[in-house]
A and B are shown apart, each in its own frame.
Chain A
Amino acid sequence: MKTIVTALCATLVATAATAGNDCTAGKTLEDGVLTIATGNPAYFPWVIDDAPETKQGFEAAVAYAIANEMGFEDDAVSWVRTSFDEAIQPGAKNFDINMQQYSITPEREEMVDFSLPYYTSAMAILTTATVVEAVGDPAPEALKGLLWGAMAGTTGAMMIDDAIGPEKDILLYNDNTDVTQAIQAGQIDAALFDLPTALYLSAVTVENGALLGQFPAERSQNPDQFGILMEDGNPLKACVDAAIEALTASGQLAALEAEWLAAATGVPVIE
């Protein structure tokens, strides 16, 4: 069903007038159409209700802002879904740009291209109120004794070892749902997520959920910056970077962030 809709959208869009600016001419998969990939499903608050074409949610809104900046009207944007593995596999891609909270790391940059960062995330510790009470002050020493979990393949999983160094083996899961289920079942005490995801999960998904603390976004060691993923050597990168630069300079990016990502002033900062 989804493919049919996508195909329909694609044909509809293809019949519309060609779009794009001088920079993007001839560099997209389909002339005059910017094909953007997101996750399947795409999660709140990045994309609301798994419907990026409604422009609801931070990444959906940023995607349209970038597309407009690059000279594509709203109806010249086509959405596809990919997993992380599809995004990095060798061979032809079905997207021009891929946006699903990809953290920019030097290792990844050897295999794929990233745009300039469009968001810098703090990392937050998701847990339950019971654990918060038991731990009290979120000092790094107190965190070591907890049983840690994370979503495999995220920078959260990689950061636990560096930032916390837990005594017991970390447990890793396929997706957010599995992590929250493990917290609920008491199999893990706490998990590390980017702050917006952690806020959402603690408020909505995890019963009795709470945030124990956050590692500030501007930390010196591996700041978690989200970039748009593109195939290695994609000529579109220069155009995307220019668009993000313009959006940052005009303050539009910051405005979108304020609109879609809840402020997290109440969460204690871990030094």
Chain B
Amino acid sequence: MTDTSDTTARPGRRAVFEAALRRRSMRIAATSTAAVLLAIVLLVPLAPGWEAVKKSFFNGPVFSKTFPGLLDAFLLDIAIFAWSLPLIAILSLVVAICRDIQRPALYPLKLFATLYTDIFRGLPVILVIYLIGFGVPGLGLPRPWNSPYIWGSLALILVYSAYVAEVIRSGIESIHRSQRSAALSLGLSSGDTMRFVVLPQALRNVVPANMNLVIALQKDVALLSFVGPVEIFRQAGVYKSLYANFTPYVGAALIFLIITIPATRYADYLMHKRRRIEQ
């Protein structure tokens, strides 16, 4: 740890005291972290079942044999994520705007948007994937329109759009009414008000909240495996059956973390930045 006090020419007594306090808390934090890590490293292997757990979950040979295959399968996850995300962005924006409709004549749109968010936020993702992924193709669509990639992705898009739409709506509502009144009095149409005044601010306000949903989406892509596609979760399951060993799941978890931890940190950073601006 560097001593910050030597940047000032003559540190005051308070600065010296605070630096010492900081050093002390750093020392305590480092010691307690080291103690906890040491306890885990020393105590867990003492458990009677450790050898068996190690063989089943942290099996080196199985790991090295399956990891390349898992990485390969992860490309499918990334592809599904990549084509779902823009569609979620569009659909959720449309739904959020529909929910904000003020004109009586367009009330059916508002009602539909409300029903939509209520239904899809209230259903478990996996149920929607099952129902749409198997149900719609069962109607007798010809190939390639009955592909599980299409309908599974659509299920994911529908569910996540409902969540994102609610987040965007909260952003829209966070813009004070006076701004709309001001825009209208300047001669902007209500559409232009939404487009040039409300949405730019609203969307910026909800970026951190949406980042959380993006991270959740990265993981939920794996649920598509239930209707057929062999992505990383399914591939890990196949390896698990083949080797009667859970190590492939640990490998898959590692691959997910490599992607999601930086994304989570980035979301934290955005939230932090937002707070600083607001203060």
Question: Which residues from chain A sit less than 8 Å from chain B, CB to CB?
Answer: 84-85, 88-91, 105, 107-108, 110-112, 149, 152-154, 157-158, 169-174, 178, 181-182, 184-188
Contacts and interface: CB of A to CB of B under 8 A. Distances in A.
Interface string B207-239: 000000000000000000111111000100110
Interface residues of B, number: 32
B243 A111 contact: yes
Contacts of B56: 88-90, 111
B9 interface: no
Contacts of B238: 152-153, 157-158, 172
A23 B21 CA distance: 70
A88 B143 contact: no
B244 interface: yes
B245 interface: yes
A184 B134 CA distance: 10
B146 A152 contact: no
B228 A182 contact: yes
26 contacts: A88-B246, A90-B53, A90-B55, A91-B49, A91-B53, A107-B243, A110-B244, A111-B55, A149-B228, A152-B241, A153-B238, A153-B241, A157-B238, A158-B238, A158-B242, A171-B148, A171-B230, A172-B225, A172-B230, A172-B238, A181-B138, A186-B137, A186-B142, A187-B137, A187-B146, A187-B148
A149 to B, nearest CB: 7
Contacts of A111: 55-56, 243-245
A169 B137 contact: no
Given A171-B228, A171-B230, A186-B142, 14 more contacts: A88-B240, A88-B246, A90-B56, A107-B242, A152-B237, A169-B229, A171-B148, A172-B225, A178-B134, A178-B227, A181-B134, A185-B146, A186-B140, A187-B228
A90 B246 CA distance: 10
B52 interface: yes
B147 interface: yes
A148 to B, nearest CB: 11
Contact of A172 (B57, B138, B147, B228): B228
Contact of A185 (B49, B138, B226, B229): B138
Interface string B84-124: 00000000000000000000000000000000000000000
A91 B47 CA distance: 11
A88 B241 CA distance: 9
Contacts of A153: 237-238, 240-241
Given A171-B230, A172-B228, A108 B138 contact: no
Contacts of B142: 186
A186 B229 contact: no
A182 B227 CA distance: 8
A91 B146 contact: no
Contact of B246 (A89, A158, A182, A188): A89
Given A171-B148, A181-B134, A105 B228 contact: no
A88 B248 CA distance: 14
A237 B148 CA distance: 43
A161 to B, nearest CB: 11
A237 B35 CA distance: 44
Contacts of B147: 187
B234 A172 contact: yes
B64 to A, nearest CB: 14
A154 B143 CA distance: 27
Contacts of A170: 230
A91 B55 CA distance: 12
Nearest to A157: B238
Interface string B31-63: 000000000000000000100110111000000
A233 to B, nearest CB: 10
A14 B154 CA distance: 54
Contacts of A178: 134, 226-227
B244 A188 contact: no
Nearest to B61: A110
A89 B53 CA distance: 8
Contacts of A90: 49, 52-53, 55-57
- Closest 3 A-B residue pairs measured CB to CB? A153-B241, A171-B228, A90-B52
A185 B134 contact: yes
A170 B231 CA distance: 11
Contacts of B229: 169, 171
